[in-house]
Amino acid sequence: MSQLLAVMFDGVAFGMLLFLISVGLSVTLGMMNFTNLAHGAFAMVGGYVTFALASLAGWPFLATLPVAFLATMAIAAVFERLLFRYIYETGELNQVLFTIGFVFTASATAAYVFGTVHQSVDMPAVLTGFIELGEIKLPSYRLFLVAIALVITVGVVYGLEHTRFGAMVRASVDNQKVARGLGLNVNRIFALTFALGSGLAGLGGALAIEVLGLDPSFGFHILVLVLIVVALGGLGSVWGSFVAALCLGVFDVGGKYFVPELGSFLIYLFMVALLFFRPQGLFGKR
Amino acid sequence: MKRTFVPVLATTALLTVTLASTSALAQKTVKIGVTNVYSGQFADPGAQLDAGIKLYMQLHGDTVAGAKIQIIRRDVGGIAPPVAKRLAEELVVRERVDILAGNLLTPNALAVAGVSKDAEKFTVVMNAATPIITTKSPYMVRTSLTTSQLNHHFGEWVAKQGVKNVYTMVTNYGPGTSSGKSFEDAFKKKGGKVVGADKTPVVNPDFSPFVQRVAEAKPEALYVWVPGGTQPPALGKALAERGVTPANTKIFGQGELTDDAALEAMGKVALGIITAYHYNVHRDTPLNTRFVKAYRAANNGRDPDIYSIGGYDGMHLIYEVLKKTGGNTSGKAMIEAAKGMSWESPRGMMSIDPRTRDVVQTVWIREVKMKDGKPANIIIDHIDNAKDPDL
Amino acid sequence: MSTDPHLWLRHKARVSPYEVAFWIAALIVPYVLLPKYLALASQIAIMATFCISLDLILGYAGIISLGHAAFFGIGAYAAGILSARGWGEPLSGLLFAAVVAGLAGWIIGFMIVRVQHLALLMITLGLSFLAVEVANTFDGLTGGADGLLGIDTWKLFGIWKFSIWGHTSYAYALGVSFLIFLLCRRLVHSPFGLTLEAIRENPQRTTAIGVANRRHLQWVFTLSSSIAGIAGAMLAQTTKTVSLESLGFQNSAEIAVMLILGGTGRLYGAIVGTIIFMVARDQLSGMNPKYWYFWIGILLMMVVLFMPRGILGAMQRLAAKMSRS
């Protein structure tokens, strides 16, 4: 039983990681209907920021995390102003084409600068090994992941529910036209949300190095998982993404533990079935 | 400006043409078409293989048997046999290459085999490790390894050490399942028993649930196969986290399992893991030391690995064969010259089996022990002239 | 202009001289001017057929799919397995693949027609991952991760051999894709095709005027799957290889990229997009095998920024501007 709990905890930690990377996309998709397949590329950016600082410049891992968040946010904000804002009105197919092109270019740039090798970073001693709670052994790094994700979830939810900016974001997600009509500068709200969401993805990418590794194709790899979380959770719903990511992590790990023959079948079956009966996702409104 | 520019241009052009034509007369060019993977998920092994090719040419010059060697590279972009086949065809038809090489991944190599056979081109498999590949074209040789070559002999060796029960855990795709099967078959033939067998997914695996199953089964020994790259350190971490270590379970695997990154991730809990491999970066022979030093110098300090050595020895074979045929590049002449050829590689002695055209080499058995205060792979045994048992 | 709808349809479907010129060029250019590019040309023709099948559902019926390669792969495996088991006659292989892929499309169609938007995108994507897993699991039949072995394509009509020079392959691929193009062209200019466009634009209204939306969508999805299967079968027969990746997400995504690049809902967009993408990739990756996809990425972004209606859409606008001035 305690073993089972330990395995499930791994699933929870994996889910939290997915949540961090996905939540920004859920909100921006819900707000502007902007199909941003480049979201995973921003996670990759954060990963490489942390790699460059920790492994090349010798910073301690923990100190690189806020920088990964801020740097990715800044880079995303620049690209939003330079490129992305021109394609909000071009329809989802063009957005798919454009953002896929962006991932191609970002991935080639990463390969050129950092090489194709799988990168890793040194962890501080505190985050290696495990902590024993009675009979259960919980890996320290995964505990740390869950803790960070919970703090950020609380922060995001508080920010959305209890701040003026959060109210503006919610209004824009609910009904963009009315929000504009009420005098909200939806484009500026969007730009900020986009940057914040990408920053979170960057943080997620930095945290993912230890779990999933980092290489120039990270932006493509993570994309499918991120899309699953967003679709299952429902567009624009933070809680939806949270629950969906949690389910995905636990379902994936549990499935492999109990029925390893089905391996990676399960999450796709689960997704197809759920979306067929609930196309708007778990918490989606539309 | 314009008036002076035109005559200069014309002179230069004329000069170039004259130079080009005289040098073409003076020297024959041998073109080698390399179908490799340079982008996507398998870009890194592809880059290491390519670095092996480059280093050989850097150390041995680009002229052999009076002919200049020219490499034409093509990117298959991943597992894509139709693309590999088309690129190989184009290399033959469009670029008129004399030799085909590269062949990182099995499905691509199998597709290239068809072209090799039809076009009668000497073809070198520098990595793909599924045994049957070389049977698909009479002009094909291999300078890497075959999965059963390593794992068959390893399975027998493990049984010989008195191990009775083993749990296997392999990646659920060609190289993993066939390695696992060779190991199991050889192990069972020598009286061992397989008490459990799991297959892990190819992409972004989280190993902890699988390792947990092993921990609960408490087998005497565990055999693991995972592809190199991100997976060995991830698996190493999961083994350490779940307490499946040589202290309570004997752990066996193919060499990737204890590559440098994985050893670093596992730390001291890796002590006692035993692996089989055909190349040891840290094996102390003059030839290997020189090779590793030159490789690091050419690749920003990065160590060579099995992909690099496959590319390096592949080029060596091509050079030696060209010397033997005196520059004759016909598929028949080259393959005949390659059969039975043997040489000392940084990996050890190796040769080409005259019957199967496949690689024959030493399988090194290594155990993780402390060396200079760090865990390292120390050779404890070796099986010389190991052939693939199935070919 | 006449008010007779049939006349209007016929007017819309008339053959323009550009079209004739295009197909003649498609026949002559590779054979006469670029004989060393026949292998590439035949794969372009095959992928263009696949791309047209996606245009039928995406461009005309509005069904967005990120998993259409599943049907391409099913067709490839059907023809490949048939051939590996001893029947390598190409045309009957195509027919077999068309039936198998069409059947799969018809069954999946029950599900597809009931969802839209992101859910549809993700369901098709999930199905294509499942298809890969299923094919990997039944490796006795499919050859698993090593790919299907032993495919032997017999001579076309018992006369022409599929050799590495690609003469037969291109004639075969071009011929089949031309016939399929004609069929699709006829279809989209028929009342059935117009109905599909109406459903795409406003499903509530078509329901109100008595159109059975789902039945129409399921039929076009079946047809499209069948055509995708034919394309897959051609690739299997001409390259004598099939791998799991033919079913996978990357193949689905790439074909969607080619279609959007050319422009959706105009058939020729599918063809032009495929030609441009594949030629660009061939040339760029030949020049720079390591970082070619940087330039592909730039190309895609440029097209969106400067030609939001695809390359063909931009060409059409340019032509219209020139004829006016």
The rounded mean pLDDT for chain B is 87
- Strand runs (DSSP E) across B11-164, as ranges? 28-36, 63-64, 67-75, 99-102, 122-125, 140-142
Distance (Å, whole) CA B310 – CA B301? 19
Distance (Å, whole) CA B48 – CA B55? 10
Q: Report how many Cβ contacts below 8 Å link chain B to chain C.
A: 95
Clarify whether residues B45 and B154 are in a common domain. no
Q: What's the distance, CA C197 to chain centroid?
A: 19
Contact B230 A212 (CB under 8 A): yes
Place of tokens 């490499």: B71
Any chain A CB within 8 A of the CB of C133? Answer: yes
Clarify whether residues B111 and B229 are in a common domain. no
List chain B residues with CB under 8 Å of A213.
229-230, 233-234
Give the gap in angstroms from C-alpha C308 to the nearest C-alpha of chain A. Answer: 7
* Paired residues of A131 in beta bridges: A138
Distance (Å, whole) CA A243 – CA A228? 12
Domains and CATH numbers, chain A: 2-277 (1.10.3470)
**Is pLDDT of C206 > 70?**
yes
Residue B248 lies in a domain: yes
The token pair at A164 is: 């003026």
Mean pLDDT of C260-264: 90
Stated length of chain B: 391
Any chain B CB within 8 A of the CB of A109? Answer: no
Burial, C305: exposed, middle or buried (Cβ in 10 Å; 0-12, 13-18, 19+)?
middle
List chain C residues with CB under 8 Å of A91.
308
3-state secondary structure chain A: CHHHHHHHHHHHHHHHHHHHHHHHHHHHHHHHCCCCCCHHHHHHHHHHHHHHHHHHCCCCHHHHHHHHHHHHHHHHHHHHHHCHHHHCCCCHHHHHHHHHHHHHHHHHHHHHHHCCCCECCCCCHHHCCEEEECCEEEEHHHHHHHHHHHHHHHHHHHHHHHCHHHHHHHHHHHCHHHHHHCCCCHHHHHHHHHHHHHHHHHHHHHHHHHHHCECCCHHHHHHHHHHHHHHHHCCCCHHHHHHHHHHHHHHHHHHHHHCHHHCCHHHHHHHHHHHHHCCCCCCCCC
Contact C116 A112 (CB under 8 A): no
Clarify whether residues B116 and B136 are in a common domain. yes
Range among B219-223, B257-261, C85-89, C140-144 with highest mean pLDDT value = B219-223
Contact C260 A263 (CB under 8 A): no
Contact C243 B174 (CB under 8 A): no
List chain C residues with CB under 8 Å of B110.
146-147, 149, 241
Any chain C CB within 8 A of the CB of B116? Answer: no
Model pLDDT, residue C18: 84
Nearest by CB: B81 against C239, C286, C290: C239
List chain A residues with CB under 8 Å of C293.
104-105, 107-108
Higher pLDDT, B175 or B273: B273
Tens digit of pLDDT for each residue in C162-188? 877 788 899 999 999 999 999 999 999
Closest chain C residue to A95, measured at CA:
C304
Residue C144 lies in a domain: yes
List chain C residues with CB under 8 Å of B177.
144-145
Higher pLDDT, A223 or C226: C226
Contact assessment for residue B122 and residue B357, using Cβ atoms and an 8 Å cutoff:
no
Give the gap in angstroms from C-alpha A127 to the nearest C-alpha of chain B. Answer: 12
Place of tokens 């990117």: B75
Q: Of C63, C122, C288, which to mutate for an interface test with A (greatest number of A Cβ within 10 Å)?
A: C122
**Coil, strand or helix: which one is C312?**
helix
Clarify whether residues B140 and B153 are in a common domain. no
Mean pLDDT of C185-204: 88
Clarify whether residues B163 and B198 are in a common domain. yes
* Paired residues of C156 in beta bridges: C160
Nearest by CB: A275 against C119, C261, C264: C119
- Give the other-Cβ count within 10 Å of C114's Cβ: 16
Q: How confident is the model at residue B28 (pLDDT cuts 50, 70, 90)?
A: confident
Distance (Å, whole) CA C157 – CA C91? 8
What are the residue ranges in chain A where pLDDT is below 50? none
Phi–psi pair at B122, nearest 5 degrees: -60, 125
Distance (Å, whole) CA C267 – CA B223? 54
Residue C57 lies in a domain: yes
Model pLDDT, residue B265: 73
CATH code, C32: 1.10.3470
**Is pLDDT of B285 > 90?**
yes
Distance (Å, whole) CA B201 – CA B204? 8
Model pLDDT, residue C133: 86
Q: How confident is the model at residue B12 (pLDDT cuts 50, 70, 90)?
A: very low
Model pLDDT, residue A259: 80
Residue B8 lies in a domain: no
Model pLDDT, residue B24: 45
Q: How confident is the model at residue B14 (pLDDT cuts 50, 70, 90)?
A: very low
Any chain B CB within 8 A of the CB of A250? Answer: no
Residue B14 lies in a domain: no
Give the gap in angstroms from C-alpha C287 to the nearest C-alpha of chain B. Answer: 9
List chain C residues with CB under 8 Å of B74.
285-286, 289
Tens digit of pLDDT for each residue in A118-137? 888 888 888 877 787 777 77
Distance (Å, whole) CA A73 – CA C255? 32
Touching chains, A (3+ CB pairs < 8 A): B, C
Contact B210 A111 (CB under 8 A): no
Model pLDDT, residue B19: 44
Residue C94 lies in a domain: yes
**Is pLDDT of C319 > 60?**
yes
List chain B residues with CB under 8 Å of C148.
none
The string over A69-97, giving b where at least 16 C-beta atoms fall within 10 Å of a residue's C-beta and e elsewhere, is bebbbebbbebbeebbbebeeebbbbbbb
Clarify whether residues B341 and B370 are in a common domain. no
Q: Report which of C53, C21, C35 is spatially closest to residue C258, judged by C-alpha positions.
A: C53
CATH code, B242: 3.40.50.2300
Distance (Å, whole) CA A27 – CA A39? 12
Distance (Å, whole) CA B241 – CA A7? 11
Mean pLDDT of C12-25: 85
Q: What's the distance, CA A57 to chain centroid?
A: 26
Nearest by CB: B47 against A116, A213, A220: A116
Amino acid type, C153: T
Contact A268 C300 (CB under 8 A): no
Residue C317 lies in a domain: no
* Paired residues of B250 in beta bridges: B221
Contact A256 B44 (CB under 8 A): no
Clarify whether residues B121 and B220 are in a common domain. no
Q: How confident is the model at residue C322 (pLDDT cuts 50, 70, 90)?
A: confident
Touching chains, B (3+ CB pairs < 8 A): A, C
**Is pLDDT of B379 > 80?**
yes
| First CA to last CA distance, chain A | 40
Any chain A CB within 8 A of the CB of C126? Answer: yes
Residue C276 lies in a domain: no
Clarify whether residues B235 and B369 are in a common domain. yes
Residue B215 lies in a domain: yes
The token pair at B115 is: 């072209």
Contact B82 C239 (CB under 8 A): yes
**Is pLDDT of C152 > 90?**
no
List chain A residues with CB under 8 Å of C126.
228, 268-269, 271-272, 275
Closest chain A residue to B261, measured at CA:
A120
Q: How confident is the model at residue B3 (pLDDT cuts 50, 70, 90)?
A: very low
Tens digit of pLDDT for each residue in B174-187? 788 889 999 999 99
Number of separate domains in chain C: 1
Which ipTM score applies to this complex?
A: 0.89
Nearest by CB: C123 against A29, A95, A272: A272
Mean pLDDT of B64-84: 91
- Strand runs (DSSP E) across chain B, as ranges? 28-36, 63-64, 67-75, 99-102, 122-125, 140-142, 165-171, 193-200, 221-225, 250-254, 274-277, 342-345, 348-352, 359-371, 374-386
Residue C47 domain boundaries:
5-267
Number of separate domains in chain B: 2
Nearest by CB: C164 against B107, B118, B136: B118
Contact B82 C145 (CB under 8 A): no
* Paired residues of B85 in beta bridges: none
Contact A118 B229 (CB under 8 A): yes
**Is pLDDT of C4 > 50?**
yes
**Is pLDDT of B20 > 70?**
no
Contact B85 C240 (CB under 8 A): yes
**Is pLDDT of B156 > 90?**
yes
| Percent of chain A residues past pLDDT 90, beyond the cut | 39
Nearest by CB: A260 against B213, B243, B300: B213
Distance (Å, whole) CA A7 – CA A20? 21
Phi–psi pair at B35, nearest 5 degrees: -95, 115
List chain B residues with CB under 8 Å of C136.
172-173
Any chain B CB within 8 A of the CB of A105? Answer: no
Residue B70 lies in a domain: yes
Nearest by CB: C147 against B81, B86, B93: B81
User: Cα separations (Å) of B125 from A182, B34, B54, B181?
Assistant: 67, 10, 16, 22
Contact A94 C114 (CB under 8 A): no
Give the gap in angstroms from C-alpha C19 to the nearest C-alpha of chain A. Answer: 26
Burial, B132: exposed, middle or buried (Cβ in 10 Å; 0-12, 13-18, 19+)?
middle
Contact assessment for residue B365 and residue B380, using Cβ atoms and an 8 Å cutoff:
yes
Clarify whether residues B341 and B290 are in a common domain. yes
Count of helix runs (H) and strand runs (E) in chain C = 15, 0
Clarify whether residues B241 and B369 are in a common domain. yes
Residue C247 lies in a domain: yes
Higher pLDDT, B11 or B167: B167
Clarify whether residues B226 and B303 are in a common domain. no
Distance (Å, whole) CA C95 – CA C92? 5
Give the gap in angstroms from C-alpha A240 to the nearest C-alpha of chain C. Answer: 15
Phi–psi pair at B345, nearest 5 degrees: -105, 165
Any chain C CB within 8 A of the CB of B369? Answer: no
Question: Which residues of C touch chain B, with CB atoms under 8 Å apart?
Answer: 36-40, 43, 136, 144-147, 149, 163-166, 235, 239-246, 250, 285-286, 289-293
Closest chain B residue to C164, measured at CA:
B89
Residue C250 lies in a domain: yes
pTM for the model = 0.88
Nearest by CB: A101 against C121, C292, C300: C300
The token pair at C281 is: 């990739």
Clarify whether residues B228 and B376 are in a common domain. yes
Mean pLDDT of B328-344: 92
Residue B329 domain boundaries:
27-145+286-357
Contact C290 B47 (CB under 8 A): yes
Model pLDDT, residue B8: 47
Model pLDDT, residue A173: 82
Mean pLDDT of C286-313: 88
Contact B234 A254 (CB under 8 A): no
Average the pLDDT over each of B252-266, C40-54, C286-300 and give the range with the smallest value: B252-266
Q: Report which of C65, C91, C85, C86 is spatially closest to residue C225, judged by C-alpha positions.
A: C65
Contact B130 C146 (CB under 8 A): yes
- Give the other-Cβ count within 10 Å of B66's Cβ: 13
